[in-house]
Amino acid sequence: MGKGDVEAPPTSAYRSVMEEYGYEVGKVIGNGSYGTVYEAYYTKQKVMVAVKIISKKKASEDYLNKFLPREIQVMKVLRHKYLINFYQAIETTSRVYIILELAQGGDVLEWIQRYGACSEPLAGKWFSQLTLGIAYLHSKGIVHRDLKLENLLLDKRENVKISDFGFAKMVPSNQSVRNSPSYRQVNCFSHLSQTYCGSFAYACPEILLGLPYNPFLSDTWSMGVILYTLVVARLPFDDTNLKKLLKETQKEVTFPPNYAISQECKNLILQTLRQATKRATILDIIKDPWVLKFQPEQPTHEIRLLEAMCQPPSTTNRHQSLEIST
């Protein structure tokens, strides 16, 4: 992510489109493969926002025709205090403008790089907020598929805001699958996907092996990588070599001896960084005693929604064909 002090005034073409809709574009706050994120002032509501400007010339056909429409479709239905909110999408012949909530505190990766490992109370605060945000997504049948520290933004009060829904996907609620390395012996969260998304360092072993995988459980694996990194200030697995990475992800993760990490916190990390058949779902995580310790109130509503997803289906047919679509 680009630093907030980089000044790069957008061209007059950007400005005229933005001004027409009531946005005064300011400094660059981030750069991606296909575009740039600017800070902007929305004159009609008198609030600061983030504007993601995507160049159609730079973007791939696959991104413009598949991932971008899916990202907008997903974000339109999301409203949660720990998710970056979507406000508006504007399309012209040469660009797509996505107007989003502005998180002014940078991202969690930058925080770790600057200050090192979090204290356990801070890690607990951020992880419990991440848990509530992902519980909300999963309860709606939406998977993120690109959870990593740089996609956890911070607002001015240092609360987590989950961002970047470029790989997010709505999963059909009636999906049932046959046995596979990532099939849970439960009815909830049992959809399999075959599109690899995200960063190798945060990817579960079944993805690294190129197997069909359960995207709900790939999200919870990534959450385990995030929690480990919050309390240790380094990734649990070395992703510089794919063969080594695969070997490491299939063994139990170890903790450096010089860090004071509670056994409860370690247990939760071990529950998430394990083979898919035994891995914690978001329902397991939200009920975990270490997570509950940091919740300002009991997440009874979220638990109820997630438990409703886990009700046995009315039909006993578990042998529908595996979903191949991406």
Catalytic residue among 5, 62, 107, 146: 146
Residues near 191 by Cβ (< 8 Å), separated by ≥ 6? 171, 172, 175, 177, 214, 215, 216, 323
Summarize the annotated binding site as residue ranges: 52
- 3-state DSSP call for residue 114? helix
- Concerning whether 146 is annotated as a catalytic residue, the answer is yes
Instruction: Tell me how far apart the alpha carbons of residues 298 and 289 are, in angstroms, rounded to a whole number.
Output: 11
**Beta carbons of 124 and 72 less than 8 angstroms apart:** no
Residue 214 sits at φ, ψ, to 5 deg, of: -90, 110
Strands 47-55 and 95-101: antiparallel
Structure-token match 């480990």, residue found: 228
**Beta carbons of 26 and 4 less than 8 angstroms apart:** no
Summarize the annotated binding site for ATP as residue ranges: 52
- CA torsion angle 182 183 188 189 (round to 10): 20
Catalytically active residues, by annotation: 146
